[in-house]
Structure 1
Amino acid sequence: EYHFNFNFPDVEDTMLMHYVLNETPGTHGLKQLAMKHTIYGDYEKPLYEFQDDYCRRNGIIKSAFTWDLIPFDIIKVYAAMDACVTFLIFEIFRDAIRKNDKIKRVYRDILIPGMQFLKDIQDTGVPFDRKRLEVAQNLMDDEIQTSILRLYQYPEVKIFEQAQGKEFNPNSTLQLRKLLFDNIGLSPTGKKTGTGQHSTDAEVLQELGKQHDVPQHILDIRQKSKIKNTYLDKIIPQLDRDSRLRTNFNLHSTTSGRLSSSGKLNMQQIPRDNPIVKGCIKARENHEIVAMDLTTAEVYVAAVLAKDKALQDVFRSGGNFHSSIAKIVFRLPCEVEDVAYNFAMKRQAAKAVTFGIMYGAGPHKISQQVTKDSGSYFSMNEAKEVIDDYFRQFKKLKMWLEQCKVDIERDAYTYSLLGRKRRLENVRSEDKGIASHEVRSGINFLVQSLASDINLLGAIDMNDYIKEHGMKSRIFALVHDSILAEVP
């Protein structure tokens, strides 16, 4: 609509049809489906044969070839086959969907309305302030260069350069290992790469930063470089004339049913705690940016699915959720609003357990998570005690999780409350690790898919209301469990 001012009022989508029948990512492309479901596989072959021949005859590389060079006699057949194959696949998938009422409802009541809604917000685009972006880009570049110069002032780095006979490159993993573990003599964390080498990823640098300033300094450079390279440098040249970025939101790219984002900008991966990129999102004149968030949506969904009244009552109380959970589980002698200040570690433990146990995290994982988040060691025994105390308070949640495990192992699939189907064939794997992971994925799906669908359906209703009443507000993005909009 934005580019051509043309609207398709009644549509079907073979990609979404296949997705509701088989949620496996990367299997929904038209060419793949044509090969699998029709006799016309490889119908695009004449295009590539012409491309190869043209490039060979004219001495050009394939990346320099443009499709307008293909003769009309070839391209018209390809276009006709595109339409023909799409319709053949549509008929096959339509009949398959009609046989399952749950799947049919998901396609008709969630995916098709969702597709129409996402078309609207993609056309609206994410509003950016071009000048702010350019200023942020220059400032970030200056900060990165200053940080690099400061890095070279560390005596350990100077000694390393003298020994190696060359300038230290912080982007070289090999040099970084030598500097940190050989020259400075830091103790490795124990985390290894796939090739058995000591890891120097962000998590490791964060931990090593407790021993020396250099790892934290390098981590700071990496983080700033990522913001500049991944966001600022890419956003500016892709803005449309109205200073909006029109990127993609996808309904068909995850097994859990959650939305994904791709194209010019992945909106789902903008760092939540980074104000730089978010600060460059700016509403049009006389409007404000409003973010509406479904706080702890997945826990809320689990409480409903498990029919756990005790857990539901925590939400009804209206206090801070994680503080309320900590007060209940640990029987803390203070008001809910004082928990974060007086019992920060216990609140962190309650939070880690809340999110962890729904996805099968045991004492080891909970111990690691609380230690990482709080900065203080939290033992496996402490983690086990918290998990046991948690389930003593929320018995129905534990029963529900156990029943989900039984059902998934028996059926090798599960349905969400709204009818999405998740196929889980790997529960039958002889590898216990793979089978166990598949069970966790199934429980994860039951919670995540419903939370995501609640957010999506709410946004669809909101968008319909805005259009029906001629309002000036515009939704421009869905990010995780939040809705972003411009409002007068």
Structure 2
Amino acid sequence: MFVKAVAGIGQCWYNGRRGSGKGEAMEFTVVRSPEEGVPYLNRLKNAGLLAVDTETTGLDAHQDQLRLVQIGAAGMPVLLIDCVPFLEDSRGRAFLKEVLEGDSGKIFHNAKFDLQFLRGEGILPENIRDTMLSAELLRPCGGPRKVNLAAVASHYLGVSLDKTEQTGDWSGALSDSQLAYAASDSRILLQLWDCLAGRLRENGLERIADIEFACAPALARAEYDGISLDLGQWEHLCTDIQNQYEMALQALYAYSGEPSYQLTLWGGEEALDVNFDSNAYVLKLLKKNGIQVSSTSRYSLAPYHNHPLVKALTEYRKYAKLLSGFLHPLPAQIHPVTGRLHPKYGQIGAYSGRMCCWGPNIQQIPRETRFRSCFRAPEGRTLVLADYSQIELRVAAQISGDVRMKSAYTKGEDLHRLTASLVSDTSPEKVTAAQRQAAKAVNFGLIFGMGAAGLQQYAAQSYGVDMTMEEAVKFRDAFFRAYAGISWWHHDLKAGHFMEGRTMTGRKFLFTPRSGVSELANTPVQGTAADILKRALGLLYHEIREKDWKLVGIVHDEILLEVPAEDGANAARCLKAVMERAGADILPSVPCVADAKTAHSWAAK
């Protein structure tokens, strides 16, 4: 890539365009003051699409600075807005707000990142298009595995982008090479979107793309806002869990004997002859105590879950994982500027469309009160907690068309109580709490094609329900007699030899010849439930965009807000309304119900 810069205006040439022997000239101009931007204002405001990119001094929107904002539009040079002088003038911020908050569509690549830095300057773009999300949606349609800008541009346009400057120093004076690099990323977005928009349309992905694009600003808001952790309470919890960990170790020593120790190079101690983290050692210990298994997995040990050794081992593993996975790492992840945790969300974290989370992964915080009570609203504020009621079962009812299940949801009946009544031949009003708990395992297990043996294991592991194999077979047979539509749905999946599937919104995913009925059924259900939540987040963003309402947590079917105490009741009504509207938009004949409440801590849900 070569650069020529004259009086703030430059040209660079793309080399390597597929089918072209000539470079494609591209102009850019550096804008350092609002006055220099004024000649372009009307053209930018009237453009149908704007390509937007940013360069920053780092990756942290709370500590690093916005260095450049690049804006490209058809028929004009790319504007490189030098934020250091430009945003020192309040008119500069007003200029960017007028351009980026206007009606034009804004094309980003990984909008979630750029939107956080723009939010830090009070600039809140909407009407987003995202070429990275588009490429992720197009993966099952022959798209590239990697979705960074260079990989996507290479795959769809045959353009080779030089990303050398990406990791350079953007805090000082900018070189001609840096300016050309910044301009090229913005300009390529216009060409890339033109191609990807057609691919989305050809593959029936426009609806799900709109949902993903609208969700991106909400996730940017969630990452930027973060969630408050009561550190003192968390430290007390660490002490309690450490004590329980030590008790579990002592229970295991009753079977293994006390270990002998040696000093490490760092002055600590390590056990020489006992290692409960070694599968080989644990397997030998289990067999020595009459538990003949070939694996130490949770699934293999489920039939022996009442054996004292297995109980102790399960407790040990549980507390060891809590200490290493959550309790010890979380305090170090509190942000030095905000004093809050700032989880990151992978918007399309699984091929089903479900999100993932890290840094920390609050989606895996245990549901126990002692854990969730540590996540609290600061003084003068309150949390609003909302989740969907049985969202995946409702989606399964819609997809399968099961008449009885759809009727139950339409009438507002308790499906778990209904299932308990049907499989035990008991009237609904006489169903016990234990029967309803067993029905949860039956509903959530069998809806996705689990066999009787799998149901028996699943009930014990996930719901603490012991059932014999005979009971599991009886429950399974009774379930499919009661819900014939589910039975026929599974039959069709088995007979169809499907190699691809879709959610209710059109998201596409591929199967393999080895995919069983469980995967064939679960993926579109889980994916549709994820699409509903993302639709809700897109709607919610419009409600909270300029309010002092923080989006602090997203956990699959659950959304957490933090709002001023006086706004709590109104925020709960708003959150419930947008979640139910999102469900109604996607499930035409099964009502979605969301429950919302205010509370001082997350434990109230």
TM-score range, shorter chain: 0.7 to 0.9
- Tell me the equivalent position of 1:409: 497
5+ residue gaps in structure 1?
49-65, 193-198
- Tell me the equivalent position of 2:486: 397
Distance 1:207 1:74, change over 3 A: farther
Distance 1:98 1:369, change over 3 A: closer
Aligned with 1:265 (options 354, 360, 369): 360
Aligned with 1:255 (options 338, 351, 368): 351
Q: Which amino acid aligns with 1:97?
A: L
TM-score, length basis structure 1: 0.76
Distance 1:69 1:485, change over 3 A: closer
Q: Does residue 211 in structure 1 map to residue 307 in structure 2?
A: yes
Question: Rg larger in 1 or in 2?
Answer: 2
Distance 1:143 1:5, change over 3 A: farther
Q: Is the 8 A contact 1:25 1:255 kept in 2?
A: no
Shift of 1:142: 4.8
Distance 1:144 1:385, change over 3 A: closer
Higher relative contact order (CA 8 A, sep 6+): 1
- Say how many residue pairs are matched: 433
Shift of 1:226: 1.8
Shift of 1:363: 2.8
Which deviations, in whole Å up to 9, do the C-alpha atoms of 1:209-259 show, x marking residues without a partner?
A: 63334x433432332222222112222122123332112222222121222
Measure the CA separation in 2 of the matches of 1:483 and 1:137: 26
Q: Is the 8 A contact 1:161 1:167 kept in 2?
A: yes
5+ residue gaps in structure 2?
1-115, 262-270, 566-605
Shift of 1:377: 4.1
Q: Does residue 14 in structure 1 map to residue 131 in structure 2?
A: yes
Distance 1:329 1:155, change over 3 A: closer
Aligned with 1:461 (options 517, 522, 539): 539
Distance 1:153 1:117, change over 3 A: closer
Q: Does residue 30 in structure 1 map to residue 132 in structure 2?
A: no
Structure with a larger share of its residues in strand:
2
Which deviations, in whole Å up to 9, do the C-alpha atoms of 1:443-470 show, x marking residues without a partner?
A: 22332222222233233323423447x4
Q: Is the 8 A contact 1:258 1:448 kept in 2?
A: yes
Aligned with 1:322 (options 416, 419, 422): 416
Distance 1:206 1:363, change over 3 A: closer
- Tell me the equivalent position of 2:326: 231
Question: More deviation in 231-240 or 15-24?
Answer: 15-24
Distance 1:67 1:132, change over 3 A: farther
Distance 1:31 1:413, change over 3 A: same
- Tell me the equivalent position of 1:53: none
Q: Is the 8 A contact 1:186 1:208 kept in 2?
A: no
Q: Is the 8 A contact 1:125 1:245 kept in 2?
A: yes
- Tell me the equivalent position of 2:527: 449
Q: Is the 8 A contact 2:395 2:525 kept in 1?
A: yes
* Superposition map of 1:337-376 within 5 A: 338-341=430-433, 344=434, 347=436, 349-370=438-459, 372=461, 373-376=463-466
Measure the CA separation in 2 of the matches of 1:319 and 1:419: 29
Measure the CA separation in 2 of the matches of 1:292 and 1:27: 34
Distance 1:391 1:397, change over 3 A: same
Measure the CA separation in 2 of the matches of 1:422 and 1:208: 37
Measure the CA separation in 2 of the matches of 1:26 and 1:133: 40
Q: Which amino acid aligns with 2:198?
A: D
- Tell me the equivalent position of 2:215: 114
Which deviations, in whole Å up to 9, do the C-alpha atoms of 1:384-425 show, x marking residues without a partner?
A: 44333223222233334434555x536x3233222222333x
SS of residue paired to 1:360: coil
Q: Is the 8 A contact 1:232 1:277 kept in 2?
A: no
Measure the CA separation in 2 of the matches of 1:82 and 1:116: 21
Measure the CA separation in 2 of the matches of 1:85 and 1:313: 51
* Superposition map of 1:145-160 within 5 A: 145=246, 147-148=248-249, 150-151=250-251, 154=254, 156-158=256-258
Shift of 1:88: 4.2
Measure the CA separation in 2 of the matches of 1:206 and 1:330: 24
Distance 1:356 1:169, change over 3 A: closer
Q: Is the 8 A contact 2:333 2:360 kept in 1?
A: no
TM-score, length basis structure 2: 0.63
Q: Is the 8 A contact 1:289 1:485 kept in 2?
A: yes
Q: Which amino acid aligns with 1:306?
A: S
Distance 1:284 1:81, change over 3 A: same
Measure the CA separation in 2 of the matches of 1:187 and 1:440: 29
Q: Is the 8 A contact 2:357 2:363 kept in 1?
A: yes
Q: Which amino acid aligns with 1:168?
A: V
- Tell me the equivalent position of 1:57: none
Shift of 1:139: 4.1
Q: Is the 8 A contact 2:445 2:455 kept in 1?
A: yes
Structure with a larger share of its residues in helix:
1
Measure the CA separation in 2 of the matches of 1:353 and 1:152: 33
Distance 1:288 1:33, change over 3 A: same
Shift of 1:327: 0.4
Distance 1:138 1:25, change over 3 A: farther
* Superposition map of 1:25-424 within 5 A: 27-41=146-160, 43-44=162-163, 68=169, 79=182, 82-83=185-186, 85-100=188-203, 102-108=204-210, 110-145=211-246, 147-148=248-249, 150-151=250-251, 154=254, 156-158=256-258, 166-182=272-288, 185-188=289-292, 190=293, 192=294, 199-203=295-299, 208=304, 210-213=306-309, 215-240=310-335, 241-262=337-358, 264-272=359-367, 274-332=368-426, 334-336=427-429, 338-341=430-433, 344=434, 347=436, 349-370=438-459, 372=461, 373-379=463-469, 381-405=470-494, 409=497, 412-424=499-511
Distance 1:155 1:252, change over 3 A: closer
Measure the CA separation in 2 of the matches of 1:208 and 1:396: 35
Q: Is the 8 A contact 1:370 1:378 kept in 2?
A: no
Distance 1:228 1:166, change over 3 A: closer
Distance 1:308 1:335, change over 3 A: closer
Aligned with 2:550 (options 469, 474, 485): 474
SS of residue paired to 1:253: coil
Q: Which amino acid aligns with 1:12?
A: R
Q: Which amino acid aligns with 2:447?
A: M
Q: Is the 8 A contact 1:129 1:243 kept in 2?
A: no
Q: Which amino acid aligns with 2:352?
A: S
Shift of 1:30: 2.9
Which deviations, in whole Å up to 9, do the C-alpha atoms of 1:22-55 show, x marking residues without a partner?
A: 25995323343244334445734x679xxxxxxx
Shift of 1:80: 5.3
Distance 1:95 1:47, change over 3 A: same
Question: More deviation in 10-19 or 311-320?
Answer: 311-320
Shift of 1:292: 1.3
